[in-house]
Amino acid sequence: MNEERHQIILFYKYVHIDDPEAVKAWQEDICARLELKGRGIIAQEGINITFEGTKENIAEYIKELEKDKRFLNIHFKLSASNGNAFPRLSIKVRKEIVSLHLGTCDIDPNQITGVHLAPAELHEWIKNGKEFYIVDMRNVYEHKVGHFKNSILPPIENFRDLPKVVEQIYHLKNKIVLTVCTGGVRCEKASGFLIKGGFTDVYQLDGGIVSYMEKYPNEDFQGKLYVFDGRVTMGFYTDDSKHEIIGKCDHCGEQSENYVNCANPVCHRHFIACENCVTKGDGNVFCMGGCVLSRHGRKISKVEANLI
């Protein structure tokens, strides 16, 4: 019942905002009136939003948002939810709408970014065997549960690793490169960063992976899409029998899409652990590596873990 009544709206826009605090207050007021929960980030460079509410209230939210001309022509991504994806509303003002931390190398997507490639165009590229290279700009733990077939999966821990990614794929600088991420916000900057780094033919997937999965369920994207809310993962499946599980338990290697956090509160690393391994650990599962020491009753620091 709730699944039919609620939606999650995901969107972003790089647009100059003179007074982020004023936009934050405006957003908080709208969300309070429409009983929306979720996360929002406002910065001088733009807005990045994931909210949940009833379908009717989400539709009303879009109307309210578009009263401000700065927020017209946004690609909204809508997906079904059960009304419990977020425990509360949190809207913050930050320096960036995604934490890239590129410093002086930062990119303004309104000045430099890759060509937006529609999901239908990507589908044709794949179908026709066009030569191009998909570079997944998400984090390692997101890759593990789902990704495009034959895509390049750089070992990204956070976006500060982006310069290292450029080094690893620089041999493709004169090839067609397509950057992908969940909803598109990271690709806007990542594609621009590649162009600034000397890549000559750069595209980004318009609307992100979520838009492609919605249009072409069970095609080309393997596994499930990691999302940053209570659902953890999601998929668009017209036929569940075609769903392929590519995630593997970090402990035993069995197929799994079950994410847990390391039981060491100092670490809290996010990883995949199958239900059998979780049961064996009485619900307390530690990530592989140094955190295994926590089983002996001693909490270790991240510094210690990195030394092991």
Residues labelled catalytic = 181
220 burial (CB, 10 Å; 0-12 / 13-18 / 19+) is: middle
How far is the C-alpha of 220 from the C-alpha of 29, rounded, in Å? 41
Residues in contact with 155: Cβ distance below 8 Å, sequence separation at least 6, in sequence order: 140, 161
DSSP designation for 90: E
How far is the C-alpha of 218 from the C-alpha of 196, rounded, in Å? 35
**Number of CB atoms found within 10 A of residue 262's CB:** 22
Helix (H, G, I), strand (E, B) or coil at 40: strand
How far is the C-alpha of 230 from the C-alpha of 233, rounded, in Å? 9
